[in-house]
Amino acid sequence: MNENSLPVALQQALLAMSGWEAAAVVLGIAYLLLAMRESLWCWYAAFGSTAIFLFLFWDVRLLMEAALQVYYLAMAVYGWRHWQHGGGRGDALAISSWGGRQHATAIGLVLTISLLSGLMLSHFSDARLPFLDSFTTWGSVLTTWMVARKILENWLYWLLIDSVSIYLYLDRALYLTALLFLVYIVIAVFGYQQWRQHYRAQSS
């Protein structure tokens, strides 16, 4: 790839973006910014973005990606309700933090399922980078659930998952999506810092 090809590819991708795709991207960014502020509105943004992506992926026959959006829709509803009533005695949910054993269990589970999925994809499909693709998919499933449970370290998990995703999207020449995930990484850094401050304040 020469030095001019990336800006040209980004420009072409922007011109090719539909209004619905642009709306999904804007709502996706809004979801993270609102989640950083612990606003319940983040789940409305997540639901809207996911619903649009579900339609878009189904329309281009990316059936597994479409199926993943169904999970995200369910988690948007679950997160909205759990943030309101998931605390003690039905109060609003507070930020919590996992211990080493919980992280080890979660990471081990994601790596095991990713390995199995990667093996299946490599043997029964022509999937590109099946193990990394499986890792980002299952890691996203876990980390979305962590957000719904207000686990502090979800932001750190997103940093790793989004970084790997950028590599995958660059490999597939999805430059605009890679740029979007770079924005996600920046938001995740600030999200972790803000949630950590809130966690320390509520624990003091």
Q: pLDDT digits over 30-39, tens only?
A: 999 999 999 9
* pLDDT of 6 higher than 90: no
- The stretch 4-31 carries a mean pLDDT of 75
The reported pTM is: 0.87
Query: CA torsion sign, 109 to 106 to 74 to 54?
Result: negative
Share of the chain above pLDDT 90, in %: 54
Q: How confident is the model at residue 15, as a pLDDT? A: 63
Q: What is the pLDDT of residue 133?
A: 86
User: In the chain, which residue ranges form alpha helices assigned H by DSSP?
Assistant: 5-16, 19-36, 41-59, 63-85, 100-124, 130-148, 154-171, 175-203
* pLDDT tens digits, one per residue of 67-125: 888 999 999 999 999 999 887 776 788 999 999 999 999 999 999 999 999 899 888 88
Q: Could you give the angle at the alpha carbon of 156 between the alpha carbons of 85 and 137, nearest 5°? A: 85
The share of the chain scoring above pLDDT 70, in percent, equals: 89
> Which residues does 12 contact at the CB level (< 8 Å), separation at least 6?
none
